[in-house]
Amino acid sequence: MGLGDSVPGVSGGTIAVITRIYDELIYSIRSVDERALGLVFTGQIGAAWRHVNGNFLLTLALGILSGLLVSANTVLYLLEHRFEALMGFFIGLVMASTVLLLRQFQLARPANLLALLLGCMLTVGVGLLEPAVTELSLVYLFFCGLIAICAMILPGLSGAFILLLLGAYESMLAALTGLQWAVIAVFVSGCVVGLLAFSRLLALALRRFHELSYGFITGLLLGSLSVLWPWQRALSYYVDSHGQQQVLQTANVWPLTYTEQTGLEPQSALVAVCMICGLLTVFGLNKVFASRST
């Protein structure tokens, strides 16, 4: 999930769905409530830990943090030098995940189909927004964390892409790699507040409207394919804090015209192979986690 959340266009929530921990994740976060606080204040630490599924949340949090730290260099390298192949791999992940999610609801029901279309439109719409370049204050970073975490736990909506839209993506990567603890602490505080609030809404939706929720989630995933398109042409740029030119906004192009418009090779065969690897990865993970859950 940490690796996924670090890439603009990929969601950690997608990985949670693939590995069949999404419902448990949302319900566990939701359980951080008044009862848990009451148990802590009365000295019943063990009971509070069990109430919030502490072992699960702690292990997951450590894994996400490790993934973010690893990806701060690894994924950035792949984004710069193997962008088409990396996007092909993630498209494979999303396509396979969509196939698996179709088992969670009846697509023929009009309400579920409408939820799917709304989810798809939301992701595509977010992807069409123009990223911002702005001065960052600690208050603004808190707000960025609050908003981005909501996207991070929604499959199909990329927290990293939301940070890019808010103009905070580069700053947070620099804070992670440079261990700027004050900046990280403010951002994490925003994430915690947003996570606790938004998880309650998600838990309610999953409990009362399970099929509609998964129809909407599937739509979010399908919509993310437009953001993950491997062949993109830069439309605008900005200058980062190191004085280097970075791409700000892109447009999708067909692989047949990719070389003509960008001067780069489309690497279609490599993209296809990576896409197949993504598909096989998801179906393999699904088989492993399905056998463990039976």
* One-character DSSP codes across 32-93: -SHHHHHHHHTT-HHHHHHHTTHHHHHHHHHHHHHHHHHHHHHHHHHHHHSHHHHHHHHHHH
Total domains, the chain: 1
The answer as to whether 241 is a domain residue is no
Residues 6+ apart with CB under 8 A from 259: 265, 266
- Give tens-digit pLDDT for 197-207: 888 888 888 88
- Full residue range of the structural domain in which residue 80 is found: 2-232+266-293
Q: Are residues 154 and 109 in contact, defined by beta-carbon separation less than 8 angstroms?
A: no
- Residue 240, H or E segment: none
Q: Is residue 249 a part of any domain in this protein? A: no
**What pLDDT, on a 0 to 100 scale, did the predictor assign at position 160?**
67
How high is the pLDDT of residue 114?
93
Half-sphere exposure of 247 (CA within 13 A, CB side): 11
- 244 domain-assigned: no
**Cα dihedral sign for 287, 17, 166, 225?**
positive
Give a yes or no: residue 246 inside a domain: no
Residues of the chain falling short of pLDDT 50: none
CB 84 within 8 A of CB 262: no
Residue 253 lies in a domain: no
Tokens of 177: 């790699």
pLDDT of residue 184: 84
Residue 282 resides in a domain: yes
The one-letter amino acid code at 263 reads G
Angle between helices 268-293 and 83-101 (to 10 degrees): 40
Q: What is the pLDDT of residue 243?
A: 64
The count of C-alpha atoms lying within 13 angstroms of the C-alpha of 37, restricted to the half-sphere facing its C-beta, is 4
Tokens of 239: 């200058």
Name the pTM for this structure: 0.69
Is 245 in a helix, a strand, or coil? strand
Q: Is residue 239 part of a domain?
A: no
- 26 contacts 178 by C-beta, under 8 angstroms: no
Is residue 40 in a domain?
yes
What SS3 class is residue 7? coil
